[in-house]
Amino acid sequence: MPDGKRPLIFDAHLDLAMNAMEWNRDLRWPVSEIRQHEQGMTDKPDRAKGTVTFPALREGNIGIVIATQISRYVKKDSSLPGWNSPEQAWAMTQAQLAWYRTMEAAGELRQITDLPSLEAHLDKWQSATEPHTLGYILSLEGADSLVELSYLDRAYEYGLRAIGPAHYGPGVYAQGTNATGGLGERGRDLLRKMESLNIILDATHLCDDSFWEAMDHFNGPVWASHSNCRSLVNHNRQFADEQIRELLNRGAVIGMPLDAWMMVPGWVRGQTDPEKAGAKLEVMLDHMDHICQLAGTASCIGIGTDLDGGFGREQSPYDLDTIADLQRLPEMLSKRGYSDDDIEGIMHGNWIRFLRKAWA
């Protein structure tokens, strides 16, 4: 590790390219500069409230992230934001891909696509001097942008290694948060294609019907990059205990997000104040504890913050200023009785072990 004190952190869900290409944020700037630059902007509710940049990731020793492509196709009468054709949605994912490639060329990012590149990145991160090149694994959040299944072959070639078939609402291949219904023929075909390519299924955002159908039809590696517990916050976006048990049976790792409305009950978007609602970093550990009680082990949990995923400090833990504050978690976990091995697993080891097995 770079300084021998701070643990390496693996964050399993960050919408980096979305922030760069749709929020027009240069993630090479410090968080403070982006906040200052966005003062007075009103086009998005999280302006001047962001928490994630490359300098903040390095400050927090967050050396590996699952970074997304995200672009939803919506029908004309949908109230959800998105693109009016799958072809437009695909084109946006390609713009995001171009940004990742440009950041690779600039020395900011290093793509991880297989076991050798994972091990090489870990070696370089531990031995490198500042500034570190951040490692990223490419994931697709919502599969609507795949115009047809042949597009998945193209995506695999450029490094796509995980897919969450749905996002919010109804989708082409699966139904997501706040929707109902199963996968249908196209969704089952997608899962078969993913399995043949050894692409990881991200169960996050699948509605209950689609979740259970996916579990019945997919035999490849499964994880949940950023999902909390329905027993603590009763909403379909969260996993019910029986879903958590199914994921545990599949050998999944479940990443805990820091989107405040998924952390504490009774949240009203745009109105609830994180501090008044008690939305603090410690609440992440409540969700972790619940899963560990179901599992009897801490080997199944990790971090998947979703920070700056369409929200900023107005909807984040009130005691988190930037993503670098994740370095406070080891001490908090220790006070809850987690062992050193448990903490190392939660901070990075469980995700790395999952990938070593999936990519063996």
pLDDT, tens digit (0-9, with 9 covering 90-100), for 176-221: 999 999 999 999 999 999 999 999 999 999 999 999 999 999 999 9
Is 2 a domain residue?
no
Does the pLDDT at position 1 exceed 60?
Answer: no
Inform me whether the pLDDT recorded for 2 exceeds 60.
no
* pLDDT tens digits, 111-149: 999 999 999 999 999 887 667 899 999 999 999 999 999
Is 92 a residue whose pLDDT tops 90?
yes
What whole-number distance in Å separates Cα of residue 290 and Cα of residue 89? Answer: 37
**Domain with 74 in it: what CATH number?**
3.20.20.140
Question: Which ranges in 208-269 belong to alpha helices (H)?
Answer: 208-217, 241-249
Q: Tell me whether residue 204 is in a domain.
A: yes
Q: What are residue 201's phi and psi, to 5 degrees?
A: -90, 120
For 154-178, the pLDDT digits (tens) are 999 999 999 999 999 999 999 999 9
Q: What is the pLDDT of residue 81?
A: 87
* Number of CB atoms found within 10 A of residue 5's CB: 8
Residues 48, 51, 54, CA angle at the centre, nearest 5°?
115
pLDDT of residue 130: 63
- Backbone φ and ψ for 62, nearest 5 degrees, come out as -90, 95
Reply yes or no on whether the pLDDT at 75 is more than 80: yes
pLDDT at 18: 98
CA–CA separation, 329 vs 258, rounded Å? 12
What values do phi and psi take at 333, rounded to 5? -65, -40
pLDDT digits (tens, 9 = 90+) for 31-59: 999 999 999 999 999 999 999 999 999 99
- Average of per-residue pLDDT across 54-73: 97
Residue 322: pLDDT band (50, 70, 90) is very high
| pLDDT of the residue at 201 | 98
324 within a domain of the structure (yes/no): yes
Q: Is residue 170 part of a domain?
A: yes
- Within 10 angstroms of residue 100's Cβ, the number of other Cβ atoms is 21
Give the per-residue SS3 of 142-183.
CCCCCCCCHHHHHHHHCCEEEEECCCECECCCCECECCCCCC
The answer to whether the beta carbons of residues 319 and 268 sit under 8 Å apart is no
pLDDT at 297: 97
pLDDT > 60? residue 105: yes
pLDDT in tens, 254-303: 999 999 999 999 999 999 999 999 999 999 999 999 999 999 999 999 99
Mean of pLDDT values over 342-349: 98
User: Locate tokens 């982006």: which residue?
Assistant: 34
Number of domains composing the chain: 1
Q: Is the pLDDT of residue 6 over 90?
A: no
Residue at 1 is within a domain: no
pLDDT bucket at 227, cuts 50 / 70 / 90 = very high
Residue 137 pairs with which residues in a beta bridge? 66
Q: Which domain holds residue 78?
A: 9-358
Closest of 75, 88, 115, 54 to residue 353, by C-alpha: 115
pLDDT at 257: 98
Neighbouring CB atoms inside 10 A of 1's CB total 13
- Does residue 3 fall inside a structural domain? no
The pLDDT value recorded for residue 80 is 86
Predicted pLDDT at 3: 42
- In this prediction the pTM is 0.97
- Alpha-helical (H) ranges within 60-149 are 86-105, 115-127
Query: What phi and psi, each to the nearest 5 degrees, are found at residue 63?
Result: -95, -15
Residue 4: inside a domain, yes or no?
Answer: no
